[in-house]
Amino acid sequence: MIGFDHGRCRSLIGEHDVVQNRKPRTSEPAAGPVTTAAREHRTGAILTVVALVAFVTTLDNTIIAAAAPSIGRELGLSLTLLQWAGIAYMLPYAGLLLAAGALLDRLGRRRLVLAGCAVFAAGALLGGFASSAEVLLAARVAQGVAAAFVVPGALSLIRTELPAGRRPLAVAVWTAALAAALALGPWLGGALAEHLHWSWIFFSNLPFIAGAAILLARATRAEPPRTGVRVPLGGVVLVTASLVLLTASVTASAGAATALALGGAGVLGLLGFAVTERHAAAPLIPARLLRNRIFAGANALVLLWGLGISGIVFFTPLVHQDFLGLGPEAAGLPLVLVAAAVVCATPFVPVATRVLGPHRVVCLGLLLVATGLAALAAVNAQQAIEPRLAGLVLAGVGSAFTTPITTQALELTGEGDSGAASGVLTASRELASAFGVALIGLVITAVRAADIAAGASPGPALAGGYTAGLVVAALLQAAGAALALVVLRPRPPELSRPVPAKECEGI
């Protein structure tokens, strides 16, 4: 006689609830009645937290570039130290993301995100008042550490605090805020440094992070830590060190040999981490996440999108200055069109997803990005800004329609794994950003050197390298479009069928 497996039935119920976008059943008592107005107010607060966190943490990745010359002149910093002003934020941010995501699930999202907001604000104040390289770098490290907890924590709120019907909108808001910060950062940094003072690139963080902390404290309740779950410190140290080494390999300025050594050490560390995870009693990244086709595919799509678009955004202001002859503020201003296009297109994404399905919408979005980049490549030889605007708008609209990548990844994740899932997704995005800058930079540098060797002047040679970079980025987006049709295709209906009652008799 075959015995009844209560654990299996409970697992099936949990899976069914996740597939049907409902909160898994628990033994906790139901909350008291909540008015519609109160629910809407709380939903609005969570959406605002998501937007503020996404915007300010991404802005800190891009805003410092245009203000770097002003910082260097005032503090007497060398070019190498100025580069580390950006790297000091990126390394701890990217390196701690996987560990932070797992710790958020184990120790409680609300308390760690609020602590992260406080550390981020302290780093912003320290950076604004910095009078030496040491203080500036310490401030950037503090902000990077804080961002590693705040970002996946805020992203996981979409899965744990919002009803299923509002999650696509929340992810669209998240994506729009990311794109807006990515596009506005270079222009805003130049404008603040030119018209006020470079310290305001740090002080401007404070209203955003303070607003997020206040709304989070009011709209959510502290969840108890998960008792009896051990934090795998060995895995935390190993994956953090590996990601730091990988990120350092594409940001180091000590030459190709050092970059290869750092990258090789990072890859070996990740392989060692994968081996330890397979045998760990409480793995840092639950194996069920890695076995999920849609979750794994979503991370691959994030990598392809970031590899192409991040490097283009990074080098566009440089081309506008050195080839078109624009000033620092004007060089970054056209990227505002990208942010505007994302914001304007975002409200249409949920409707398109319901009509076409997430896999087709993401495919369409990536194809639009690829078309926009190809359009930029076609007109790049012209020394005028106007022909470039259409391509920038297309890239922005297409980026908005990649939103279902994140939605699908989070929807198929249980609430208990939302922090880990958010950490993996954010780590993929950050690593793609770092490697995207390195990849497109390598293409631009190689083509530029070849053109100069052939007799071209530096400006046109840079434009030729940028054109090649645009073509590579467009090809990456096209590859992502094809992949999206496969990995994001909804599961067959039978996988989301209700659990038969007879399977659950006796519970």
Residue 4 domain flag: no
Look-up of token digits 């970079």: 469
Q: State the pLDDT at residue 318.
A: 78
- Asked whether residue 147 falls in the same domain as residue 176, the answer is yes
Q: Using CA atoms, how far apart are residues 111 and 496, in angstroms rounded to an integer?
A: 34
- Asked whether residue 216 falls in the same domain as residue 173, the answer is yes
Of the residues 247, 264, 284, the one at which a domain ends: 284
- Asked whether residue 289 falls in the same domain as residue 260, the answer is no
- Asked whether residue 278 falls in the same domain as residue 298, the answer is no
Residue 345 domain flag: yes
- Asked whether residue 298 falls in the same domain as residue 420, the answer is yes
Q: Which secondary-structure segment (H or E) carries 151?
A: helix 133-161
Residue 501 domain flag: no
Q: Using CA atoms, how far apart are residues 303 and 310, in angstroms rounded to an integer?
A: 10
Residue 495 domain flag: no
- Asked whether residue 328 falls in the same domain as residue 188, the answer is yes
Report angle CA 139, 145, 147 to the nearest 5 degrees.
100
- Asked whether residue 145 falls in the same domain as residue 260, the answer is no
Q: Using CA atoms, how far apart are residues 324 and 167, in angstroms rounded to an integer?
A: 42
- Asked whether residue 107 falls in the same domain as residue 142, the answer is yes
Q: Which secondary-structure segment (H or E) carries 425?
A: helix 418-453
- Asked whether residue 271 falls in the same domain as residue 302, the answer is no
Which residue in 57, 53, 165, 164 sits closest to 109, CA to CA? Answer: 53
Of the residues 269, 284, 299, the one at which a domain ends: 284
Q: State the pLDDT at residue 491.
A: 66
- Asked whether residue 292 falls in the same domain as residue 439, the answer is yes
Which residue in 438, 494, 440 sits closest to 467, CA to CA? Answer: 440
Q: State the pLDDT at residue 255.
A: 66
Q: In a structure prediction context, what are the per-residue pLDDT tens digits for the chain, which is 507 residues long?
A: 334 344 434 333 344 444 444 444 433 334 445 577 777 888 888 999 999 999 999 888 778 766 777 788 888 877 567 667 777 887 788 778 777 877 787 777 788 889 999 999 999 999 999 989 899 999 999 999 999 899 888 888 887 888 878 888 888 888 788 877 877 787 788 788 878 888 999 999 999 999 999 999 888 877 766 655 566 667 778 877 887 787 777 765 556 788 788 888 988 988 888 888 777 766 777 777 777 788 888 888 988 988 888 888 778 877 887 888 887 677 778 888 888 888 889 889 888 988 999 999 999 999 999 999 999 999 998 988 999 999 999 998 998 899 888 877 777 666 666 667 777 787 787 778 778 877 888 888 889 999 999 988 888 998 999 999 999 999 999 999 999 999 888 766 544 443 344 444 333
Where residue 292 sits, what CATH number does that domain have? 1.20.1250.20
- Asked whether residue 305 falls in the same domain as residue 251, the answer is no
Half-sphere exposure at residue 32, Cβ-oriented, CA atoms within 13 angstroms: 1
- The count of domains in the chain is 2
Which residue in 134, 178, 94, 140 sits closest to 424, CA to CA? Answer: 94
Residue 423 domain flag: yes
Look-up of token digits 């067959």: 492
Q: Read off the tokens for 403.
A: 């939103």
Look-up of token digits 């310490």: 138
Sign (positive or negative) of CA dihedral 193, 196, 199, 201: negative
Decide: 400 and 172 in contact? Cβ < 8 Å. Answer: yes
Residue 9 domain flag: no
Decide: 457 and 188 in contact? Cβ < 8 Å. Answer: no
Q: Give the number of other Cβ atoms within 10 Å of residue 47's Cβ.
A: 21
Of the residues 248, 269, 284, the one at which a domain ends: 284
Q: Using CA atoms, how far apart are residues 181 and 177, in angstroms rounded to an integer?
A: 6
- Asked whether residue 342 falls in the same domain as residue 472, the answer is yes
Q: Read off the tokens for 192.
A: 């603040």
Decide: 490 and 300 in contact? Cβ < 8 Å. Answer: no
Residue 10 domain flag: no
Residue 484 domain flag: yes
Q: State the pLDDT at residue 38.
A: 76
Determine the structural domain holding residue 323 and report its residue range.
41-221+285-490
Q: Percent helix, strand and coil across the chain, each rounded to 5?
A: 80, 0, 20
